[in-house]
Amino acid sequence: MHDSFKHNEAFLDDIITNYDTKGDHFGNQERNSLKLFKLDDKTLNVKSFRIPNLINQIAYRFFRKSKAQRSFEYGKWLQSLDIGTPQPIGYYEFKTPFLFKKSYYISEQLDCDLTYRELTTDFEYPNHEDILRAFTRFTYKVHEKNVHFLDHSPGNTLIKKVGENYNFYLVDLNRMEFKPLDFDTRIKNFSKLTIHKFMVEIMSDEYAKSSGENYDDVFRLMWTYTKEFQNRYHRRRRLKQRIKFWNNYD
Question: What's the confidence (pLDDT) of residue 245?
Answer: 43
The one-letter amino acid code at 228 reads: E
Are 171 and 112 in contact by the 8 Å Cβ rule? The answer is no
Question: What's the confidence (pLDDT) of residue 27?
Answer: 75
Q: What superfamily would CATH give domain 3-108? A: Phosphorylase Kinase; domain 1 (3.30.200.20)
Distance CA 73, CA 68 (A): 9
- May I ask the CATH architecture of the domain 114-233? Orthogonal Bundle (1.10)
Domain ranges for the chain? 3-108, 114-233
Distance CA 59, CA 64 (A): 6
Are 206 and 136 in contact by the 8 Å Cβ rule? The answer is yes
Question: What's the confidence (pLDDT) of residue 237?
Answer: 67
Phi, psi for 139 (deg, rounded to 5): -65, -40
Question: What's the confidence (pLDDT) of residue 29?
Answer: 64
- Helix (DSSP H) and strand (DSSP E) numbers for the chain: 8, 10
Question: What's the confidence (pLDDT) of residue 6?
Answer: 86
- Our measurement of the distance from residue 114's CA atom to the centroid of its chain's CA atoms, rounded to an integer in Å, reads 14
Mean pLDDT by 10 residues, the chain (250 residues): 84 94 81 89 94 94 95 97 96 95 96 95 96 98 98 95 95 96 97 96 98 97 95 71 52
The one-letter amino acid code at 194 reads: T
pLDDT tens, 221-246?
999 999 999 988 767 766 656 555 45
Question: What's the confidence (pLDDT) of residue 249?
Answer: 44
pTM, full prediction: 0.89
Distance CA 71, CA 45 (A): 13
